[in-house]
Structure 1
Amino acid sequence: MVVPGSSKKEQTLKLIAEKDKIEQKIKEFGAVLEANGNIGMTGSLIDNEGFPRNDIDVYQVRTARNQIICLQNDLKALMKEIEKGIHEVHAEAAAASSSTSGSTKTIGLNSKEPEDELPLVAICKVDLVFEGSPAEDAGICVGDQIIEFGSANSRNFKKNIAIIAEIVKNKVNERIPIKINRKEQIIETTLTPRTWNGRGLLGCHILPI
């Protein structure tokens, strides 16, 4: 039996893998243009007298340019599909976590303990991790529930994802301590926000619980 949410995630990851392949092909054809005097996409193919230039391989350059244009169009269409897929994965994860968010509120309202003495609970759930990303390097997996993300925890998070975004912004190339609940097992690790081949600085998508 295929779980709908899992299937959509897998489809999106396949699209991302295809995107990486297209970007690699564009890079390879770009190298062809560089090898021909770094002519680029707009450099003239004829000399001052109107004849084909003899210092470059005109046929090779034309072929590379045509392939790059086609690949860029394919990439643009693919990026739209990826964006749509990510939104759908997020929507499904949000729907699945709606019931648990209600129970978390009830615990907080019924507790008679001071807020700073309440036990820490998960504040976010990881619903997508990209291959080769800082998140994957840190050992973060889909389904992990984040209890602490740097200074953010259930005592100050208040379901405001902007808090994590601000921490990431101020900790680029610095280790952020993270505490995770993975299948009732508490795991501590560090995540270093950095520029990588994909989008963002973490390479994962998280939703507040």
Structure 2
Amino acid sequence: MGPFPGLLGSSLCLFCGVLGVVGLCLEASLWKEPPHSQPIGRRRLARPPLAPPPSPSPALCLSLAASLVTRPEGWVRGGAVLPLRATRSCWCFSEARAAAFDGASPPPPPPPPAMSREESSSKAVTVRDVQLLMKKKEEIEAQIQAYYEVLEDQKGVGMNEPLVDVEGYPRADVDLYQVRTARHNIICLQNDHKALMREVEEALHQLHAQDKEKHAKDEAEARAEAMSQTLPQPFAKVNAVTPGSPASLSGLQVDDEIVEFGSVNTHNFQSLQNIATVVQHSEGKPLSVTVIRGGERLHLGLTPKRWNGRGLLGCNILPLQR
């Protein structure tokens, strides 16, 4: 083999180098700077594919600057956030931005985000919370109305009117920055309003559920308390009441169970003679009588006295078996 492989490789390298030089020369000789297109009225001739891209016109930069809304993290255009680093790449952007934003105040900061459902459901909702939500709703509605008034002042462009003329150029009779800013803020505020209304609805549902639960709990506690109060054991029962008698006038009724008659109660009652003795010693004097009627305790005032019938009471009382 000898030196032939090395010689062959050197020849191939030299051949490739010659081809590269020839290609570069051919490319340099064929490529020519095309003439810039000249305007014909408002139309422009199409540029060849090899021509460099045209520089952005001032009108285009003004339209771009007017279509941007400032944010701390960058500029917002068409719903997308453009970093400040990227928007500064345009050589005429700073001048266009200064011309478009001259004399205009920056848009107000967006309202704080509404409380999420998890946060609102994790704590008990009060009437004060609902009132604060309603106040926030009224503030958002006032802001939306203010931005609609801004659009109305700008030739009544509204939310959907085009901002370019029939020839595709930005309109000169309206403030593009104010219109786009107002539209953007209206859309954001409307989204906040929808989220806030969902939160208000959920808060009202929770408040109603809490009231209902509290009412049911109070009723259960009342029933439990009523059942926990043990009624005393009656020792006598009324089985007859004569109309017009002192017993009838005091409100005593048939089937009333007596738990207290003057000084006689469940603990010291022995026989009906105890009641008779109290009645004889209390003629013309009111007695405190406690009875059980329909599961409830009632207090009556009975005054033993003479009347047209027999006895001083006008009722018949029977002892109960204990």
TM-score normalised by L of structure 1: 0.44
Larger RCO: Structure 1 or Structure 2 (Cα < 8 Å, ≥ 6 residues apart)? 1
Query: TM-score w.r.t. structure 2 length?
Result: 0.29
Higher-Rg member (1/2): 2
